[in-house]
Amino acid sequence: MRLILLGPPGAGKGTQAQHLVAKYGLVQLSTGDMLRAAVKAATPLGRQVEHIMASGALCPDDVVVAIVEDRIERPDARKGFILDGFPRTVAQAEALDRMLSKHGLELEAVIELRVNEAALLRRIESRIAEMTAQGRQLRADDNPEVLHRRLAAYREQTAPLITYYRRHGLLRSVDGMQTVEEVAAQIRRALDEKTDRATGAKAPNRQIGKKSAPLRKRRQPKAERKKRKTLRTSAARKPKSSAKQAKRRR
């Protein structure tokens, strides 16, 4: 199984990826973790991206695509993987499509974690304050100012992927504002539905975690019903066509 977890920073992608690793035995491929490891090891790549990451901006597409391609070719990724934090731009998504088809692989699903941005900001800011108070080490990009920039980058460059994957029929959206366990359960349901759909067992419900709209046809508002009735009546009273009138005159 090959999955993508999509969502803004702090939405819980890493935590949910770990649940999926435990349940399905997949590997988690986090581009953020890979880039941070390169920065820590002070490799040429690390030195190239260090200041970009600290600023909250996105690293160049070609750099990130190259590290993902290298990673998915390793033996532990053969059984399947979860992409966490990649793709983040449409260009990366297109590169991923090419990369997967080159290796004869397909994506199973893209799970979008939907979150309320204001609530997310409050959540992350209080976590940062808590960690600072406890004297714990923060990430270089873990401060309110950079966080705003990371959220803006998500909105502008990554959110278009929602439409991209919806068009490809791969998108499954879950409500990411619930507890970790509830979100994990929704993701499992979304994946099970996907499997059921593949075997023709069940119709899909793409908005997981929210009640689906009632199936019965909604009654139209009174004004609308009246307008339609008037139109029907006047159509019934429509004068006979000019051809018929001419015939009658003859």
Q: Which residues bind ligand AMP (CB under 6 A)?
A: 9, 31-32, 35, 52-53, 56, 58-59, 64, 85-88, 92, 141, 150
Residues 2, 150, 172, 194: which is the catalytic one? Answer: 150
> Helix, strand, or coil here: 34?
helix
As beta bridge partners, residue 109 has 3
Nearer to ligand AMP, 31 or 186 (CB): 31
64 vs 110, beta carbon nearer ligand AMP? 64
Peptide bond before residue 160 is cis, with ω within 30 degrees of 0? no
CA angle 142, 146, 41 (to 5 degrees): 55
Q: What minimum distance in Å lies between the beta carbon of 22 and ligand AMP?
A: 20
Residue (57 or 177) nearer to ligand AMP, CB: 57
Beta bridge partners of 3: 82, 109
Is 13 among the catalytic positions?
yes
d(CA 47, CA 194): 41
The residue (of 12 and 208) whose beta carbon lies closer to ligand AMP is 12
Question: How far apart, in whole angstroms, are the C-alpha atoms of residue 217 and residue 167?
Answer: 26
Quote the CA–CA distance of 86 and 151 in Å, as a whole number.
15
For the bound state, the minimum distance from the C-beta of residue 130 to ligand AMP, rounded and expressed in Å, comes to: 19
Say which of 2, 71, 88, 114 is annotated catalytic: 88
Catalytic site residue 122?
no
CB of 143 to ligand AMP, least distance (A): 12
Active site residue 150: yes
**Pairing mode, if any, of strands 109-114 and 81-84?**
unpaired
Name the residues annotated as catalytic.
13, 88, 127, 139, 150
